[in-house]
Structure 1
């Protein structure tokens, strides 16, 4: 094989969609169940499920970016400034495009984008899990992701589904030696959410390690050096481009985006504020139960990551989920949103998927079905309440 020959990784098989079909159908079924329960719960409370999905919290901010552009801000009585510059542009761009090409409003276009992206994310998760552990584990991984208690966000006009789709397929491209594709998708992920840096880190660390392991022209995946280098070059362009643009617009230089986040009282403090938030829960008995729940939740996340390491997950998955987890748990504000911020960290679910895949089908189906029902009820309750953004 010469330096410029095609990488070892083979193009997707013609039956790729057929292989993923059980996972995608199961995913669609879980999400449909969640929407039915949400519609019934909302109707009983005199609310519109459609409005809850398209015009609450971040969804409303994305729509405003799509309709009004950047520059909208809200000044709170305490002096904080909430600027829409905090929201990365890819979802609003797609909402505006969808609204321009169809009769849909920007909000409805966002819901359509999120729905399509959630299916693409499910397929990407299946592709990654199948590549690492086999088809059965791939199906289970998608279903576990679908039945997460916070899974209703996958059906909202939020950016989580879009980001997870781009991240999953970028990671799959890394795993299969498609470095340019990985870099392009990482760049798009970086235009979607700040946590896009996790995808960039996965591409960079894996590429650097491949250079270290192999000093000849083609790497261990068969990819020529220039492809890996180009993938590395492309990966950070989305996130870096937006952050630099915000810095120029605000007149505060490369760190201008951090000032925008500070206006939302959000930042990275290594988890100190979150630890204080949890500790404060133990000042009274009722809230102490919530504190115990938070500690158990964090311990579960840490345990899952350690299990991923012990099971020998591929490096890009460990880097990606590690960065997503660190950014979610160590953010200094919006503590109730942490489960949602962890939603894209799907590699953490692979140990659970692998365990389910080893059970007999009736037993695993019963477990997933029960959790799906509980998740649907929780999602409807959460979205009809005042819950976290």
Structure 2
């Protein structure tokens, strides 16, 4: 459908436990010092083992599906859609590849943020790995690191039981397969989640540094930057200005990764402030206040859309509902801001609707209301909890395999 071109730089146009502590509340953020005195989260191993087992089963399901269809067994894990762009950037750098759409839009590799391909290149330099193998290794390790971060935050706020349920639910999101393919979601999630953990612990330098790195991983990196900066501003206001220098340093560091890359792309295109957004618009990626989403929903209701697109709509709608429930939980400010910005980008942004659920993968705070409900169900009717979780697991595995190995919709 697209014409692939490899060109030189000069030819590219420049254009949550049994006795849990209460959750931190938006209006009760001063209670956070008590929470912050907790040590390293305990009891994470069963939760992480479950996460690894579920996601490993997801990878095996994809491989089996490929085998049944006569396709290369792991190709769809390492060489699907955006993966090819990241691998090309890792090998050749920026400015060497474009796509030209039938409408004549020039889609340049500058739309892809540099941290993931840079890590791929670094890993292939020191280890005898192909770029695809390196990309998968990074994604799988980062998925585990992110899952531990989810547990750490859940344990910090709600105790062991909810933390375990939170990780378990994150493992079986319908599109969680995309945590284990050569995409940036695992890397971004690991950095953003641990940045949020350090916000809750008031380790502002760590929070800002990790947020800056997350801003080099994905365009949605400004969501974690905004979460860190607003949480720091709220803390400064609460203390009436008597704050450590590290707080201001973290707040300043947080947006630098995202902002730096955006300005670099602008300098390459000759339009410092608008160049990056022009590059993204060629990919039909822009914030249109939900006009594109409304058109998609109308078209889907009138004409249908297979499996992937209705499922995407259900996932996004569920995300909006879960965000409302998260606000009713009165979760910590940083978690609400982070999840809320990601929801806003998904609903208010244009682009292929089949990709939108992927953008919500890092938004694990949305699962907090479900995790607390699942924990309560486990205490009263454990068989019901197992049945519900089993059903969610089956859906996740089958949909993930279909999404990556069968469907032809953009991931």
Cα separation, 1, equivalents of 2:311 and 2:176: 19
Cα separation, 1, equivalents of 2:261 and 2:228: 19
Match of 1:204? 229
**Number of residue-to-residue matches in the alignment:** 373
Shift of 1:33: 1.2
Mapped contact 2:312–2:357 kept (Cα < 8 A)? no
Mapped contact 1:282–1:288 kept (Cα < 8 A)? no
Mapped contact 1:52–1:383 kept (Cα < 8 A)? yes
Secondary structure of the structure 2 residue equivalent to 1:200: helix
- 2:251 maps to 1:232: yes
Match of 2:400? 379
Match of 1:178? 203
Cα separation, 2, equivalents of 1:161 and 1:287: 28
- 2:72 maps to 1:48: yes
Shift of 1:11: 8.0
Match of 1:31? 55
Aligned to 1:69, which of 70, 93, 97?
93
Aligned to 2:169, which of 128, 131, 144?
144
Change (3 A) 1:208 1:267: same
- 2:270 maps to 1:251: yes
Shift of 1:282: 2.8
Secondary structure of the structure 1 residue equivalent to 2:59: helix
Cα separation, 2, equivalents of 1:142 and 1:289: 26
- 2:357 maps to 1:339: yes
Change (3 A) 1:181 1:302: same
For structure 1, the residue ranges without an aligned partner over 5 or more in a row are 1-6, 219-223
Match of 1:221? none
Mapped contact 1:279–1:291 kept (Cα < 8 A)? no
Comparing 199-208 with 377-386, greater Cα deviation is found at: 377-386
Match of 2:148? 123
Match of 1:4? none
Match of 2:327? 309
Match of 1:260? 279
Secondary structure of the structure 1 residue equivalent to 2:287: coil
Aligned to 2:390, which of 356, 369, 380?
369
Match of 1:283? 302
Match of 2:410? 388
The superposition leaves residues 68-118 of structure 1 with CA deviations (integer Å, 9 ceiling, x where unpaired) of 100021223321111111000000011001100111011110100000000
Mapped contact 1:85–1:246 kept (Cα < 8 A)? yes
RMSD over equivalenced CA pairs, Å: 1.9
Aligned to 2:367, which of 349, 365, 383?
349
Mapped contact 2:236–2:242 kept (Cα < 8 A)? no
Cα separation, 1, equivalents of 2:119 and 2:307: 42
Change (3 A) 1:204 1:333: same
Cα separation, 2, equivalents of 1:121 and 1:291: 27
Counterparts of 1:312-323 in structure 2, within 5 Å, are 312-323=330-341
TM-score of the two chains, using structure 2 as the length reference = 0.87
Cα separation, 2, equivalents of 1:288 and 1:49: 25
Change (3 A) 1:326 1:230: same
Match of 2:212? 187
TM-score of the two chains, using structure 1 as the length reference = 0.91
Mapped contact 1:281–1:288 kept (Cα < 8 A)? no
Cα separation, 1, equivalents of 2:234 and 2:159: 25
Cα separation, 2, equivalents of 1:287 and 1:88: 31
Match of 2:124? 99
Change (3 A) 1:279 1:98: same
Change (3 A) 1:98 1:308: same
Mapped contact 1:187–1:234 kept (Cα < 8 A)? yes
Change (3 A) 1:289 1:148: closer
Mapped contact 1:278–1:291 kept (Cα < 8 A)? no
